[in-house]
A = this chain, B = another copy of it.
Amino acid sequence: MSLSTDSPDQPTLYKRIRADIEKRILTGEWPPGHRIPFEHELVTRYGCSRMTVNKALSELAQADLIERRRRAGSFVRRPQHQSAVLKIADMRAEITGLGRAYGYELIGRKLRTATTVDRDRLGVKKAGKVIAITCRHSADKVPFAVEDRLIDLASVPDAATADFSREPPGSWLLHHVPWTEAEHTISAIVADDRTAEALDIAIGAPCLVIDRYTWRSARTITAVRLLYPGDSHRLVARFKGG
C-alpha cells in the first residue's frame, strides 16, 4: 500500500505487519475496541501466508495490545495504561550491579507458630509454623535496606534448616523455591526509631517501602518488607512502547 513505502533495509515481514498495526493503535487511529482486520484480510493486504500475520497478531496479543476472540476477531484492548517493567533483582545482584560492595547481616531469626498478624500477612488460614527474619543489606558498609521477612514453613519446609546467618533469605529462596507469581506494593513511610537505627538515618526521615508477596500456584511462600532510605535509593522502571 502507500503506507511506509520508505523502508531502507526492510525488517522481516511479520515485524512490519506488527509495527504497522501497533502504530495505528498507539496513534489512536484504531481506538480501543476497534476490530483489527481479520487474518485473511491481512493475508490479502500483505500478500503473505496466514502463519505470518498470525505470528504478528500473536505477539501483539502477548503484549496485551490486542485481544483475540475466536470467531469474533481481534480487537484493540482498552487499557491505554502505561505499563512499566519493574526489575527487582535480589539484593546482592542489585548492589553489586551498582558496582558497590555487598554486605549482609542477620539481625534476628525466629521460628514460631503463626500469629494472627503472621497469618494475615501470608494470607493463610491455618496456624502453621513460620520463620520470621530480620536482616540488613549494605553497600560499601553503608546500610542500604532492611528486610523483614516471613516464610511459610508449610510451603517451604527446607527453610527451617537453612543457614540464614551467611546467606540472605532472598537468595536462598530464589535458589530453592521456584515462584510463579509475585505482587509488589510500594509505599512511603517515615522512619520510626527502630528503622532509623537500622538504616542509620534520622527518625522521621522518609523511607521507601516495598512489600512483596510471592506465591507458587496459589500458595503463599513468603512475605517480605524492604525499607530503603527514601532519599538515597531509587527504583527505576523502564518501559518500551513502540
Enumerate chain A interface residues (CB-CB to B < 8 A): 23, 26-28, 59, 62, 79-90, 93, 174-175, 178-190, 204-209, 212, 216-217, 228, 230-231, 233-242
Q: How far is the CA of A79 from the CA of B189 in the complex (A)?
A: 30
Q: In the docked arrangement, what's the CA distance between A169 and B174, Å?
A: 42
Chain B contacts for A208, CB-based, 8 A: 186-188, 208
Closest 10 CB pairs of A and B: A188-B230, A26-B178, A188-B188, A180-B242, A188-B206, A186-B235, A188-B208, A81-B89, A184-B237, A180-B241
Closest residue on chain B to residue A88 by CB atoms: B82
Contact at B28–A189, with CB atoms within 8 Å? Answer: no
- Given A28-B178, A93-B81, A206-B189, A238–B88 Cβ distance below 8 Å? no
22 contacts between A and B (CB under 8 A): A26-B178, A26-B180, A62-B62, A79-B93, A81-B87, A81-B93, A82-B88, A82-B182, A83-B86, A84-B184, A85-B86, A180-B240, A181-B241, A183-B238, A184-B235, A186-B208, A187-B208, A188-B231, A190-B204, A190-B205, A190-B230, A208-B208
Q: Which residues of B contact A228 (CB under 8 A)?
A: 188
Number of copies: 2
Residues from chain B with Cβ under 8 Å of A179 in the complex: 26, 82, 241-242
Min CB distance A170 to B, Å, is 9
A217 to B228, CA, bound (A): 33
Are A235 and B175 in contact, CB atoms less than 8 angstroms apart? Answer: no
Whether the pair A84, B85 counts as a contact (CB closer than 8 A) is: yes
- Complex: how many Å from CA A241 to CA B181? 5
Which residues on the B side are within 8 Å of A237 (C-beta)?
Answer: 86, 183-186
Given contact pairs A187-B233, A208-B188, A239-B183, A80 touches B90 in the complex (Cβ within 8 A): yes
Residues of B within 8 A of A241 (CB): 178-182
Residue of A181, A205, A235, A242 contacting most chain B CB atoms (<10 Å): A235
